[in-house]
């Protein structure tokens, strides 16, 4: 029989942030081996010491051996009189909890302000060199792949190019390779990914539906068909057949809504503001953040 051991080191501090290390090991007979990558999140809690304001904790991060950091889905919970940061990750790592508030000046009066600033504070989305977010700008397929990888807290991986038009020297190569390794993205029939093409709403929704498998968010109930779910949208027939189930899963889960109550706009390009909003909803609906 195979057993799983969660091994925590004592809490420590990295650069002033409270940190802890998690290792998962499997035991089979008299053999022990480390499990470094999982298909579902492993949750652990870091106790927040007395005297630290729990409202000043933005997110958890992974601290890599080279000093770089990446977001992992985190929320603060109260158990009796104590507060804990619940961190969810797909790898063995050293974790820290941090205070990292961030506001983009160009979303101050935009409908997406709350989602954009939340995702920016969690290091999931980024602005330009002037700190502007450009919420109404459309996003490319490569950019979307990079955002979904950061949102899920995936460790970047490298390997042989999965697509004919993505080379190792491209800034997005690791993100695309990682997203493909986790079965989040596919290319086109000609073997290309078309990283610089703008991503459509239906393409984005299919990726979100796949991400729901990782976050363990239940999709459509057995008695609900894609056709039934999309019935309120007059333009649902414009969606590609291969995308309809993914679209329906995203809509039914409450992650994606139409641009109006009757317009799904599956072929339209998705904007950066819409991406921020659906990323926040995915984590919230999956109970990974508040």
| pLDDT higher than 50, residue 12 | no
Q: Is 167 helix (H, G, I), strand (E, B) or coil?
A: coil
Q: Supply the pLDDT for residue 68.
A: 86
Strand partners for 52 = none
Q: Supply the pLDDT for residue 241.
A: 94
- Asked whether the CA dihedral 119, 111, 146, 259 is positive or negative, the reply is positive
Q: Supply the pLDDT for residue 20.
A: 57
pLDDT class of 6 with cuts at 50, 70, 90: very low
Q: How far apart are CA 175 and CA 145, in angstroms?
A: 6
| pLDDT higher than 60, residue 223 | no
Provide the token pair at 83: 């507060």
Provide the token pair at 241: 């057949």
Q: Supply the pLDDT for residue 37.
A: 64
| pLDDT higher than 90, residue 229 | no
Interval 110-128 mean pLDDT: 96
Beta strands per DSSP E along the chain = 2-8, 12-14, 17-28, 31-35, 37-47, 59-63, 69-72, 74-79, 82-91, 93-98
Q: Supply the pLDDT for residue 48.
A: 87
State pLDDT tens for residues 126-157. 999 898 999 999 999 999 999 999 999 999 98
Which is more confidently placed, 274 or 42? 274
- Is pTM, for the whole model, over 0.75? yes
Site of tokens 């999140």: 41
Q: How many CA atoms lie within 13 A of 275 on its CB side?
A: 31
| pLDDT higher than 60, residue 35 | no
**Residue 284 buriedness (CB in 10 A; 0-12 / 13-18 / 19+):** middle
Per domain, the residue ranges of the chain are: 2-98, 105-285
**Residue 58: Cβ within 10 Å count:** 19
Q: Supply the pLDDT for residue 42.
A: 83
| pLDDT higher than 80, residue 219 | no
Interval 157-177 mean pLDDT: 92
In 3D space, the residue among 111, 125, 136 whose CA is nearest the CA of residue 268 turns out to be 136
| pLDDT higher than 60, residue 4 | no
Of 11-15, 62-66, 236-240, the range with the highest mean pLDDT is 236-240
State pLDDT tens for residues 55-114. 888 999 988 888 888 999 999 999 888 999 999 988 877 888 889 999 999 999 999 999
CB neighbours of 16 closer than 8 A, spacing ≥ 6? Answer: none
């Amino acid at each position: 029989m195979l057993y799983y051991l969660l091994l925590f080191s004592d809490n420590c501090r990295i650069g002033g942030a409270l940190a802890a290390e998690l290792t998962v090991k499997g035991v089979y007979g008299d053999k022990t081996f480390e499990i470094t990558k999982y298909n579902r999140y492993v949750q652990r809690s870091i106790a927040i010491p007395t005297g630290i304001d729990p409202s000043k904790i933005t997110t958890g991060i992974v601290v890599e051996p080279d000093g770089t950091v990446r977001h992992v889905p985190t929320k603060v919970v109260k158990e009796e009189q104590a507060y804990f940061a619940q961190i969810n990750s797909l790898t063995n790592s050293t974790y820290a909890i941090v205070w990292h508030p961030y506001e983009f000046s160009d979303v101050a009066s935009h409908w997406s302000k709350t989602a954009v600033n939340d995702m920016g504070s969690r290091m999931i989305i980024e602005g330009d060199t002037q700190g502007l977010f450009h919420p109404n700008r459309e996003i490319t397929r490569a950019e979307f792949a990079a955002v979904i990888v950061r949102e899920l807290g995936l460790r970047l991986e490298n390997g042989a190019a999965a697509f004919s038009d993505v080379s190792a020297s491209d800034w997005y190569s690791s993100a695309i390779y990682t997203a493909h390794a986790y079965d989040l993205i596919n290319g086109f029939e000609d073997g290309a990914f078309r990283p610089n093409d703008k991503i459509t709403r239906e393409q984005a929704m299919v990726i979100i539906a796949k991400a729901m498998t990782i976050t363990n968010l239940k999709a459509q109930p057995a008695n609900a068909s894609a056709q039934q779910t999309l019935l309120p949208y007059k333009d649902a027939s414009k969606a590609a057949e291969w995308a309809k189930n993914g679209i329906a899963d995203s809509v039914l889960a409450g992650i994606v809504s139409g641009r109006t109550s009757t317009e799904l706009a599956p072929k339209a390009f998705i904007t950066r503001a819409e991406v921020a909003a659906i990323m926040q909803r995915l984590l919230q609906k999956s109970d990974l953040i508040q």
